[in-house]
């Protein structure tokens, strides 16, 4: 018996990285997973990976998944996604939002606000914080009807401290505010809402022999093999979704490593990771 047997999950941003790790772990725990995002086929994005590959990996491991193209800035896409889930499954237990606009963000890392494209914040938020808001508008009624569930927003330290640039921090802060306020509204309905804070993750962009420090900056002394893996975050989501007392955690942010210590899981290579410092000691 898997921890999520009989459960239905939607993972947005599941073509690669943390979103893919969440989708793989939810499926391996027994959930039927709808993997959603914009990268349908190979070469569709700035990074490798696609919804088709994620579905294939889940099915090869014996899981059940459906790939759905969904742009969270388009309400019609969200309506179609959640209508399909309702029509095919009649329930929804878990939503994880890990979508991020890397194509707009990547070239802007380390640039001051006045050096950024004027539309950068809007580009980021339409996919990330505003996208998660719009997703919740469509997902929550189905979860309430089913008697409860869990919404996970992948956020991070940039919500609280300077990281990469101003637009990035504003988007992450908005994501965490969405978590706290939506949790307040959904508490009577037994739907928990949490922000998941991974540390630096070994995604398709951070492959050996590259290395980065805990803030994402180049550091050859810390090999990529030491970084958290996407499935480490996925295991955190599964642990939360399978916890009968998850409402005690609603409305807050949780480091992936915090949850690993509490629930007793490791990453896919058997590694435990330290809980990162919340602040950058180099900043006032």
CB atoms within 10 A of CB 188: 8
Under 8 Å CB-to-CB from 170, ≥6 apart: which residues? 121, 125
The secondary structure of residue 87, as a DSSP letter, is H
The secondary structure of residue 101, as a DSSP letter, is -
Choosing from 82, 164, 168, 215, which is the catalytic residue? 168
Distances (CA, A) of 280 to 71, 175, 190, 196, 200: 34, 20, 35, 19, 14
Cα–Cα dist 159/29, whole Å:
30
Examine the residue annotation and report whether 162 is marked as an active-site residue of this protein. Answer: no
| Residue 112, helix vs strand vs coil | coil
Of 27, 13, 18, 29, nearest to 81 by C-alpha is 13
Return the half-sphere exposure (C-beta side, CA atoms, 13 A cut-off) of residue 20: 22
The secondary structure of residue 72, as a DSSP letter, is T
CB 126 within 8 A of CB 100: no
First-to-last C-alpha distance (Å) of the chain: 49
Distances (CA, A) of 70 to 12, 13, 284: 8, 9, 40
> Rounded to the nearest 10 degrees, what angle do helices 230-241 and 256-263 cross at?
60
Phi first, then psi: give them for residue 76, nearest 5 degrees.
Answer: -65, -35
Q: Which residues are part of the catalytic machinery?
A: 168
């Amino acid at each position: 018996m898997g921890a999520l047997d009989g459960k239905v999950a939607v993972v947005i941003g599941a073509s690669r990285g943390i979103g893919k790790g969440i989708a793989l772990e939810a499926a391996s725990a027994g959930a039927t997973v709808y993997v959603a995002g914009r990268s349908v086929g190979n070469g569709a994005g700035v990074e490798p990976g696609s919804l088709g590959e994620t579905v294939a990996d889940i099915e090869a491991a014996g899981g059940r998944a459906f790939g759905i193209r969904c742009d969270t800035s388009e309400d019609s896409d969200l309506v179609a996604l959640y209508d399909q889930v309702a029509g095919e499954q009649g329930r929804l237990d878990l939503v994880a939002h890990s979508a991020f606009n890397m194509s707009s963000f990547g070239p802007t890392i380390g640039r001051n606000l006045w050096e950024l494209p004027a539309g950068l914040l809007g580009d980021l938020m339409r996919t990330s914080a505003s996208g998660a808001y719009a997703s919740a508008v469509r997902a929550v009624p189905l979860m309430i009807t089913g008697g409860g569930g869990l919404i996970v927003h992948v956020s991070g330290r940039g919500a609280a401290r300077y990281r990469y640039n101003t637009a990035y921090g504003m988007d992450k802060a908005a994501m965490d505010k969405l978590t706290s306020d939506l949790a307040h509204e959904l508490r009577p309905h037994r739907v928990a809402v949490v922000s998941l804070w991974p540390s630096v993750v070994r995604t398709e962009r951070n492959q050996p022999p590259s290395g980065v420090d805990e803030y994402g900056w180049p550091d050859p002394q810390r090999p990529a093999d030491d970084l958290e893996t996407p499935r480490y975050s996925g295991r955190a989501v599964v642990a939360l979704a399978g916890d009968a007392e998850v409402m005690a955690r609603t409305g807050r942010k949780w480091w992936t490593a915090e949850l690993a210590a509490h629930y007793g899981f490791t990453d896919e290579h058997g590694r435990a990771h330290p809980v990162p410092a919340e602040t950058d000691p180099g900043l006032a």
